Chains A and B, each alone.
Chain A
């Protein structure tokens, strides 16, 4: 297919132009682009805060910024990265773009709700940016009372409103996905022929829908307490700060599974495609997603082992936290087994996938340190915890996001990214990441508390190593931004299926037409049928196959 025919053929990008065609679109693919741009924007804002934090921690004394500013920096880093990048990134960008195509539908069940979800996300983002510009908030992204509700005199209410509003964008996305996956699968697309990417997003949507409302009401109560001096968490009136922690972590722990489950969905697709083999134990990987989503709701108390929670509750939460690790282990073993006797190629997405498995294994195992309650007493609220969750969020979730972006870039843009520099960028990110966060495990066990602006001199060398790694990581993250934008104009033209991947999204042109398929395909084969040449779905006889 030479460049001329590609330009003339109509697809979702050239069907209409102008700002109105983007701001009022209900096409799930264009909404995915709206999210891609805004999510990338917030990623680099959060990254800026992270850079300042790492620069400050180069020296034991607080000489770059004052304590007040440092507290605002780590708070805004947490809020921006979690609520405005990690939670929406894979579901709202890749999920929005791909789920309708993967199940053979023309769009999500409620396209207008999908656009509303992006607007709500942007309004919430605006509130948080105004709060940051007006002076920021210094309560930590956890907003623990009574500091957040009584003692802090920063822009808590403005930020809380921003996160409260953004929560509804997650709820709408989750609702859209659940209804779409239930009611709009193409004929023949049974539940066990669904790609694991769709299973992972179904499990994530369960958390979106059942968890997000709880943080909405919790932050609302904190806001009410600050504005109208209600006395819900006020210890002066007999209020219990632990009640806030229970309500907060009831959502915020499942939220970390919102961040990782979509990434696991992406990795299942990448490992299958680049080892050209069926996923080992498809049902086990699918049900482990659901297992993580459900068990994820039972374990939040491990954030409160030392907080004055009763010992017996601590024991129950420790036991349940051990159980939630099992489905993740099952996934890792199944991915590794998929490589066996495969035909493994090392394109950039596969490098991200292999990196994901290694880093996610370390992240998951260090989670067991925090779940076994005897050790958690020592490492709670230290840099050990920081290293653990960055191995999961940055080492796994961001790697999976970048792997997914690279893998589906040809489908989204019709262009190929430059392979060589992409592989170099993946290696730089892998090295930079490990140098940044592995020293923090050691710092954690040494006892360096988190959120410290000033630290004892003996911790300096490890902190300098971590900051050095952070600079490499920053370089690693800027590279994809550059060459992916470059590829929009100069990238090689990608055909319908550059990776020879299975899955319905690869059986329609790149970039796909607005309705994804000229006619609804009929699914005839299992997912990941790499052992045959036949596509997973066929078009009803007599209809012209879209050239």
Chain B
């Protein structure tokens, strides 16, 4: 069913180190001017990767059934709906 799946300490340690490494990279990259809003995309992609690592491994979602995936996805999808339509207003307001 889900989550009675026991992961090895080694895997947890690898994920932990990956997260720390990503934190250092995102902090480091922040000081370099990548121009044209590219900094934001890089910072957010790294954050999304870190979040996925935590969700999939620390929260055992990778070993859970489809239903859990739906519930995990639904939360973020609804947030995306709210953001998309609201920005639909703010970004096109100039011409309104």
Interface residue B82 (Cβ < 8 Å from any Cβ of A)? yes
Residues of A within 8 A of B96 (CB): 308-313
The answer on a CB contact under 8 Å between A242 and B82 is no
The answer on a CB contact under 8 Å between B95 and A310 is yes
Interface residue A362 (Cβ < 8 Å from any Cβ of B)? no
Interface residue B9 (Cβ < 8 Å from any Cβ of A)? no
Contacting B at CB under 8 A, from A286-309, are 297-298, 300-301, 304, 308-309
A214 to B78, CA, bound (A): 11
Stretch at the interface among B21-29, B50-58, B85-93: B85-93
- With A182-B67, A210-B74, A297-B78 already in contact, the answer to whether A312 and B85 are too (CB < 8 A) is no
Interface residue B75 (Cβ < 8 Å from any Cβ of A)? yes
Residues of A within 8 A of B85 (CB): 298, 300-301, 313, 316-317
- With A210-B74, A210-B75 already in contact, the answer to whether A309 and B81 are too (CB < 8 A) is no
Residues of B within 8 A of A517 (CB): none
The answer on a CB contact under 8 Å between A246 and B86 is yes
Residues of B within 8 A of A297 (CB): 78, 81-82
Residues of A within 8 A of B67 (CB): 182
A214 to B75, CA, bound (A): 12
B70 to chain A, nearest CB (A): 10
Q: Chain B's interface: helix, strand, loop or mixed, by majority?
A: helix
Q: Of residues B75, B89, B90, B93, which shows the largest number of chain A Cβ atoms within 10 Å of its Cβ?
A: B89
B interface, how many residues as a size bin? 10 to 19
The answer on a CB contact under 8 Å between B89 and A242 is yes
A285 to B67, CA, bound (A): 23
The answer on a CB contact under 8 Å between A311 and B95 is yes
Nearest-neighbor residue (CB-CB) of A178 within chain B: B71
A interface, how many residues as a size bin? 20 to 34
The answer on a CB contact under 8 Å between A310 and B93 is yes
Interface residue A127 (Cβ < 8 Å from any Cβ of B)? no
A316 to B92, CA, bound (A): 12
A59 to B93, CA, bound (A): 42
A314-328 vs B: 1/0 string, CB under 8 Å? 001100000000000
Contacting B at CB under 8 A, from A238-267, are 242-243, 246, 250
Residues of B within 8 A of A182 (CB): 67
B62 to chain A, nearest CB (A): 21
- With A246-B86, A309-B89, A317-B85 already in contact, the answer to whether A210 and B95 are too (CB < 8 A) is no
Residues of A within 8 A of B93 (CB): 309-310, 313
Residues of B within 8 A of A317 (CB): 85
A214 to B67, CA, bound (A): 24
- With A182-B67, A210-B74, A311-B96 already in contact, the answer to whether A301 and B89 are too (CB < 8 A) is yes
The answer on a CB contact under 8 Å between A310 and B92 is yes
A242 to B96, CA, bound (A): 14
The answer on a CB contact under 8 Å between A298 and B81 is yes
A255 to chain B, nearest CB (A): 15
Nearest-neighbor residue (CB-CB) of B86 within chain A: A246
A504 to B10, CA, bound (A): 51
A297 to B75, CA, bound (A): 13
Residues of B within 8 A of A210 (CB): 74-75, 78
15 contacts between A and B (CB under 8 A): A210-B74, A242-B89, A243-B86, A297-B78, A297-B81, A298-B81, A301-B85, A310-B88, A311-B96, A312-B92, A313-B85, A313-B93, A313-B96, A316-B85, A316-B88
Chain A interface residues (CB < 8 Å from chain B): 182, 210, 214, 242-243, 246, 250, 297-298, 300-301, 304, 308-313, 316-317
Closest 4 CB pairs of A and B: A310-B96, A313-B89, A310-B93, A312-B92
Given contacts A310-B88, A312-B95, 20 further A-B pairs with CB under 8 A are A182-B67, A210-B74, A210-B75, A214-B82, A243-B86, A250-B86, A297-B78, A297-B81, A298-B81, A300-B85, A301-B89, A304-B89, A309-B93, A310-B93, A311-B92, A312-B88, A312-B96, A313-B85, A313-B88, A316-B88
